[in-house]
Each structure stands twice: as structure tokens, then as C-alpha cells.
Amino acid sequence: MEKLYEGKAKIIYPGPEAGLVRVYFKDDATAFNGQKRAQIAGKGVVNNQVSAALFRYLEDQGIPTHFVKLLSEREMLVKKVHIVPLEVIVRNRTAGTFSRRYGVEEGRVLPKPLLEFSYKNDALGDPLIYPEAALALGLLSEDELERIRELALWINTLLKDYFAQRNLELVDFKLEFGRLEDGRLVLADEISPDTMRLWEMGTGEKMDKDRFRRDLGGVEEAYQEVLRRVLAGVYTKSDYE
């Protein structure tokens, strides 16, 4: 089947009709701008199903998303969008690039959720971008920027609550938004342990891609456990002990 696009983690195929595409989730994992590469067995299955569950949950709460339906363990059908070339990062605690950039320890609670934007441009290494520079470059309109801020913070509130019910703390995550044919903005791409930091409440154990980035071991198990809690619904201690 002809591919429309192959990225590092997913392949986009034509959909059954115009305006729809199929997203196939691979087991390929990359970190540090593609310098570290490996396969994480079952990751594609986890990320497809976790993303589907989160898109459904967010839609139920009033967030517009590109999600249409699951097609198989590794594939979902989504509305085709023109991706706004920004990675929208929401942080609740310090971690990762933020900690390195500013020399602060990981895990400090931020006084309020912080939004950051990176310019999606592989040749430039996805640099951090000021919202004003994104506007100056014509990457999006002022109204779109306002809408993205509002949606990202709302999504953060919803996801924090969702994961807290599963004994996981949402530390940070990345979102992508896209424009439908009629110009409406929707949440696109994926939301998965590849694109979020999730820490076990109480112990702070990492349950996300940091296990791969930092060679912590138990990578597959952490992805499977996140899927298990997402599918199981609300976390109860007895389920997991």
C-alpha cells in the first residue's frame, strides 16, 4: 500500500475516502533527535490504543480531535489535517529539556502549568520558538494561537485528572494541532507514553519513554502497564498489588 508519509514512529496511509487517513503505529523508537534508535516490542500497539482511548475521552469532554475510530491493534482512522508546525508542550513539573536548559532538578512542581512551543522543522532540530516568532513566520494566526493555548491548558486539566485516577502523575506532554479542510483546529497526532511523562504517584517511578531514553530497563513493561491502566479504567490499589 502506498504510503503518504513515513515518520520515525508512525506511517500515514491513504484512507477509505478523501479527508481521512490511516495511521499505523510502529515499534521503532528514537530519542535525542534520532541519535538513539531501537525497537520497543509492542510499543505501536500500546501507543495506538492509549491514543485512541485518550482521544475518545477528550472528545467526550468537548475537545475536538482528529480521531475517527480504531481499525486494528496498530492502526487508527483519523481525519486528515494540515498540521500546524508547532510542538505544543505542557509542563506541570520540571523534567527533561526544561531541567537541562535552566539547570533545575527534575520534579519541581511549577506554580502553574507552563506552555512551550517548538518549531516542527527537522532540519533545524525542532528549536524552541517564541509564540510571537511563530506569528511573525506565519505558522498560525493570532486566533489559532489563542485557541491552541486554551485547548492545551484544558487538555492538561482533563488528562491530569484522568491519569491521577490511574495512580499516575502527568509531568509533561506534547500536543500537535491541525486544520481540517474548513480551517477548524483539532487535536491531532498521538498522545501516548512516547509523548508524555507519567510518574507513578507516591514512588515517582517513570512509566514512559524516559525508561528508554535513560536505559532504565523495563521499557516494554512500563508501556504495557500504562495501557493496562488506561483500559482498566479507574485505578484501585488491589488491581495492581
Q: Of 3, 5, 69, 231, which lies in the binding site for ligand ATP, with binding defined by CB under 6 A?
A: 5
Contact 180, 64 (CB under 8 A): no
Give the integer Cα–Cα distance in Å for 14 and 96.
35
When CB distances are held under 5 to 8 angstroms depending on the partner's kind, the choice from ligand TYD, ligand ATP, none that residue 129 binds is none
Site for ligand ATP contains 172 (CB under 6 A): no
| Angle at alpha carbon of residue 203, lines to 201 and 207, rounded to 5° | 70
Q: Give the residue from 113, 111, 129 showing the smallest Cα distance to 121.
A: 129
Look at strands 109-119 and 28-31 and give their pairing: unpaired
The residue (of 81 and 159) whose beta carbon lies closer to ligand TYD is 159
184 binds ligand ATP (CB under 6 A): no
Residue nearest to ligand TYD (CB): 96
What x-and-dash track marks residues 197-236 binding ligand ATP by CB under 6 A? ----------------------------------------
N-term to C-term CA, the chain: 44
26 to 45: interface string for ligand ATP, x by CB under 6 A: --------------------
Between 15 and 166, name the residue whose CB sits nearer to ligand TYD.
166
Among 144, 172, 176, 225, binds ligand TYD (CB under 6 A): 172
Question: Closer CB to ligand TYD, residue 160 or residue 174?
Answer: 174
The candidate with the shortest Cα–Cα distance to 118, out of 174, 69, 70, 46, is 174
Considering only 6-14, 145-153, 163-171, 209-217, which stretch makes contact with ligand ATP by CB under 6 A?
Answer: 6-14
Interaction of residue 118 with ligand TYD, rule CB under 6 A: yes
Residues 144, 190, 118, 58, CA torsion sign: positive
The whole-angstrom separation of Cα 170 and Cα 106 is: 13
Question: What does the CA dihedral 162, 164, 168, 173 come to, rounded to 10 degrees?
Answer: 50
Residue 120 as a binder of ligand ATP (CB under 6 A): the answer is yes
Can you spell out the DSSP letters for 11-34?
Answer: EEEE-SSTTEEEEEE-SEEEETTT
Contacts with ligand ATP by CB under 6 A lie at 5, 7-10, 12, 21, 66, 78-81, 83, 120, 122, 176, 178, 188-189
Residue ranges that bind ligand TYD, judged by CB under 6 A? 87, 89, 95-98, 118, 126, 172-174, 194-197
